């Protein structure tokens, strides 16, 4: 973007007036062949027509592409947008990407305070509609408010199949009022991404208001990082309006650098709208640094009927109030098709998570016979003292092929008895990575290393026991390869 902003505007304006029938070629016969091919003539050697409908269609498409490429440059410089809007509206583009963010423009603050409403109206009324099926616009920091979003939503083309909108940094955006009505007209829409990070968004009820079912939608991304949400009220209505979802991402991460706690959700009420989405295959939830989050019991009702869910990722980094993850385990016991599970609850800043037990989580996972890949990171959970539940979980996963567990810095952790044996007993295991650096109280490391060294050589294995003091010194190190581990065990 920084390079593009200095591109000569005159060059773009000339390119917008390109007429293929007036173009030259180094060899005249090449010109004839090209124009005849554009016009669909059977005889490429014939004199090409002076005018043809396909010439104009191509001219309009080229003009629209140059207009969209130059839009951000002209807008950032405060230039007249009349030529750009005319060329854009008349084009037949299928894909349009506009960057209208204010991040790197020299007069952004002046533009946002005086022209934001006018610009969004002009843009909305001049979007190409004849063929456009993929629209991506970055409004980050452009000063949009709810009224602007309502106007924009009213002009969305019903032919859209993919829509990506970034409203991040728009502090005047509070409710997304009117966008729901606009989305309801997009009955062909299959993928929707809404980014509202660091905006003034405080409620999802505006998005839900007026939103009618869009049965074609398969993929949904909702990104509310570091905004002003106090709850997820309205999300239930949003989710039930998309009954055919196969992939859903919810990102409510709060930046550790944020001076004020922006997202103060204590629970996930609203997520119940996921229930009975029988086509859902992939679910990603990022709740990093949501320090007020106290309960995940909503997952129990949200996971009812998710009979096709195969991939689930849950990020709870710096959610320090949880002493256990029983609610997660209870909810996940319903996910009988789950094949891939990733979970992270690690320390970002001191004092770190209060997590002291994984037994409830492990019980919920142990009955998932399709679970083939598991990756869990509990780095810095200093109150965690036992892995008995984890050992039982591993022993109860007959399809387990890849296992990655990180307990680095879990200084209260005392023993890993049986973990190595449980992993060695998984007949389908192909990859194993265990990290215990800084677990100074951890005992049984020699038994763990010995059990892992007995795995087949075809199994990729890594083990980090650096700083573990309760065992032979030769094991208190990081083993990056299976060969290193086996050599230490046999004494070479």
**CB atoms inside a 10 Å sphere around CB 475:** 19
- pLDDT in the model for residue 25: 87
Tokens of 51: 């005018």
- Contact (Cβ atoms closer than 8 angstroms) between residue 200 and residue 227: yes
pLDDT of residue 81: 79
pLDDT of residue 264: 59
CA distance to 158, 183, 211, 240, per residue, from 214 (Å): 11, 8, 9, 9
Distance of CA 351 to the CA centre of its chain: 28
Dump the DSSP string for 153-175. Answer: HHT--TT-SEEEEE-TT-TT-SS
Segment 52-97, tens digit of pLDDT: 989 888 888 888 888 888 877 887 777 777 888 888 887 878 888 8
How far apart CA 301 and CA 57 sit, in angstroms, is 53
By the 8 A CB rule, do 268 and 274 touch? no
| 490: phi then psi, degrees, rounded to nearest 5 | -85, -5
Q: Where are the alpha helices (DSSP H) in 244-355?
A: 298-302, 326-332
CB 192 within 8 A of CB 167: no
Is residue 118 over pLDDT 50? Answer: no
Give tens-digit pLDDT for 262-298.
445 678 899 999 999 999 999 999 999 888 888 899 9
Q: What average pLDDT does range 423-427 have in this prediction?
A: 92
User: In the Cβ-directed half-sphere of 323, how many Cα atoms lie within 13 Å?
Assistant: 0
CA distance 372 to 394: 11
| N residues, the chain | 492
pLDDT tier, 1 (very low <50, low <70, confident <90, very high otherwise) = low
Tell me the average pLDDT across 194-221: 93
Q: What is the pLDDT of residue 8?
A: 78
Burial (CB < 10 A; 0-12, 13-18, 19+), residue 215, is exposed
Q: What is the DSSP string of 248-272?
A: EEEE----TT-SS-----SS-TTGG
pLDDT at 208 over 70: yes
Both structure tokens of 157? 């083309």
How far apart are the two ends of the chain, measured CA to CA in Å?
Answer: 56
* Tokens 């773009």 belong to residue: 12
CA torsion angle 143 212 313 304 (round to 10): 150
C-alpha to C-alpha distance for 197 and 252, rounded to whole angstroms:
8
Mean pLDDT along residues 20-33: 90
Inter-residue contact 337 to 310 (CB < 8 Å): yes
Q: How far apart are CA 187 and CA 207, in angstroms?
A: 17
This prediction's pTM: 0.89
């Amino acid at each position: 973007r920084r390079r593009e902003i200095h591109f000569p505007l005159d060059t773009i304006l000339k390119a917008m007036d390109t007429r293929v029938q007036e173009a030259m070629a180094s060899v005249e016969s090449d010109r004839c062949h090209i124009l005849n091919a554009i016009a669909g003539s059977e005889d490429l050697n014939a004199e090409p027509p002076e005018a043809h409908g396909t010439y104009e269609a191509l001219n309009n498409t080229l003009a629209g592409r140059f207009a969209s490429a130059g839009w951000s440059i002209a807008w950032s410089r405060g230039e007249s947008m009349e030529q750009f809007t005319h060329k854009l509206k008349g084009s037949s583009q299928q894909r349009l990407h506009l960057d209208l963010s204010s991040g790197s423009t020299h007069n952004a603050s002046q533009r946002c305070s005086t022209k934001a409403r006018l610009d969004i109206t002009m843009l909305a009324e001049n979007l190409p509609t004849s063929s456009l099926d993929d629209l991506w616009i970055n409004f980050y920091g452009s000063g949009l408010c709810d009224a602007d979003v309502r106007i924009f939503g009213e002009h969305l083309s019903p032919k859209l199949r993919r829509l990506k909108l970034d409203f991040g940094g728009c502090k005047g955006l509070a409710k997304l009022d009117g966008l729901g009505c606009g989305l309801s007209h997009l009955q062909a829409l299959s993928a929707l991404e809404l980014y509202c990070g660091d905006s003034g968004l405080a409620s999802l009820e505006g998005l839900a208001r007026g939103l009618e079912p869009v049965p074609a939608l398969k993929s949904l991304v909702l990104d509310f990082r570091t905004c002003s949400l106090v709850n997820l009220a309205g999300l239930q209505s949003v989710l039930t309006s998309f009954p055919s979802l196969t992939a859903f991402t919810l990102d409510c991460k709060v930046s550790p650098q944020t001076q004020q706690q922006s997202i103060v959700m204590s629970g996930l009420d609203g997520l119940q709208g996921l229930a009975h989405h029988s086509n859902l295959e992939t679910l990603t939830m990022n709740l990093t640094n949501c320090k007020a989050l106290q309960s995940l019991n909503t997952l129990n009702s949200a996971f009812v009927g998710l009979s096709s869910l195969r991939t689930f990722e849950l990020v709870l980094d710096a959610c320090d109030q949880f002493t256990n993850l029983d609610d997660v385990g209870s909810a996940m016991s319903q996910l009988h098709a789950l094949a891939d599970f990733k979970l992270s609850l690690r320390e970002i800043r001191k004092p770190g998570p209060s997590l002291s037990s994984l037994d409830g989580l492990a019980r919920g996972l142990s009955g998932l016979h399709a679970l083939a890949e598991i990756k869990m990171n509990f780095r810095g959970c200093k109150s965690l003292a036992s892995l008995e539940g984890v050992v039982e979980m591993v022993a109860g996963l007959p399809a387990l092929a890849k296992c990655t567990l990180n307990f680095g810095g879990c200084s209260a952790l005392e023993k890993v008895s049986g973990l190595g044996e449980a992993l060695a007993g998984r007949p389908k295991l192909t990859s194993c990575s265990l990290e215990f650096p800084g677990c100074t109280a951890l005992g049984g490391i020699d038994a763990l290393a010995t059990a892992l060294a007995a795995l087949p050589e075809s199994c990729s294995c890594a083990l980090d026991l650096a700083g573990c003091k309760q065992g032979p010194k030769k094991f208190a190190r990081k083993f990056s390869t299976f060969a290193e581990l086996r050599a230490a065990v046999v004494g070479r």
